[in-house]
Amino acid sequence: MAIFCQSPFKPITALSLPKPHQPHKTQPCLVKCSKTHLVSTEPEPVFTSVRSFAPATVANLGPGFDFLGCAVDGLGDHVSARVDPSVHPGEVSISEISGDNAKKLSKNPLWNCAGIAAIEVMRRLGVRSVGLSLTLEKGLPLGSGLGSSAASAAAAAVAVNEIFGARLSTEELVLAGLKSEEKVSGYHADNVGPAIMGGFVLIRSYEPLELLSLKFPAEKELFFVLASPDFEAPTKKMRAALPAEIGMPHHVWNSSQAGALVAAVLQGDVEGLGRALSSDKIVEPRRAPLIPGMEAVKRAAIEAGAFGCTISGAGPTAVAVTDDEARGRAIGERMVGAFMVEGKLRAEAVVRRLDRVGARLVSSIPR
């Protein structure tokens, strides 16, 4: 059974890149995940069943390879969890997977992103006397560069936590989701972090894991134009294309652009955000030629008025940014056209806002 997740992270050596709800504030908020906390007393279920949602994510954001990402509104996965007497106590089963390409995903919880995260939450809660059954509704295409595996993991982590009274903290949920990413996708939190936390997230450190929530001003408009072509860009292949070493000039350039991107997010400067987003000189130049038409798509987006454009995650989705929704639709049309003309690929484009909430409970049935 094929598993559509990202391949294990292989850090760049020499001058390398790092290993991989609230009111608006201009300062970043630190989430420090240095210790594993286990609930000492086994919790009782407070709900018979729950349904949760986790959003799509855009990782890297140009120069922020494996340490920057954000959540996108209106796209994502749902997970339903219910207390199931037919499931062995302390265990998780996956009863159904629906959505596009659902048959390509394993129902074995040990090999499914949602199942792995759910099991890790159960372990952290110390649940030994209750079994759960999960239903996964895939709203994201597989291998699209929109954080499909992270959305499944985040939604499952939140669902299981909520069914037992939401006893785990945000950082523990991130660690549970990261456990899933680590096993089937690679140890990187630039998708699962924003999928759970919402907004923009900076991974400050991996050992120990520390994440910074970057607050984009609520009064500012920001739209993502996501153009997804009918093309598979396997993460293993896309990571294999990365350079083994980088030179000092490119290291300095990308570092300065990543810093500029963070400043633009905190200031609500969409134009500055776009310029930084488009500035990667290390990863995008290696990956863009592997996606037919990507370089032309980027040019078309900027010519149509986008402030910037880059590859979303490992691709093949291209992401552009603007501060006007109508302009975003026009930009999307130009991007789709460029994929067809230059890449001979059919594509679809959507315009979405920033998701500021992250994974959340959608509905529940009390016991």
Is there a contact between 224 and 58 (Cβ–Cβ < 8 Å)?
A: yes
Q: Alpha-carbon distance 256 to 279, whole Å?
A: 10
Inter-helix orientation angle 113-125/170-184, to 10°: 140
CA distances (Å), origin 49, targets 30, 80, 189, 364 = 32, 7, 28, 6
Q: Alpha-carbon distance 180 to 343, whole Å?
A: 34
Helix (H, G, I), strand (E, B) or coil at 151: helix
Q: Alpha-carbon distance 356 to 340, whole Å?
A: 33
Name the H helices within 33-147: 113-125
Q: Which of 120, 171, 181, 182 is catalytic?
A: 181
Active site residue 57: no
Q: Which of 135, 235, 317, 322 is catalytic?
A: 235
Is there a contact between 367 and 47 (Cβ–Cβ < 8 Å)?
A: yes
Is there a contact between 158 and 52 (Cβ–Cβ < 8 Å)?
A: yes
Active site residue 235: yes
Give the burial class of 129: count Cβ atoms within 10 A of its Cβ; 0-12 exposed, 13-18 middle, 19 or more buried. exposed
Give the burial class of 313: count Cβ atoms within 10 A of its Cβ; 0-12 exposed, 13-18 middle, 19 or more buried. buried
Q: Alpha-carbon distance 189 to 180, whole Å?
A: 11
For 101, left (φ over 0), alpha (ψ -120 to 50), or beta?
A: left
Positions marked active-site: 181, 235
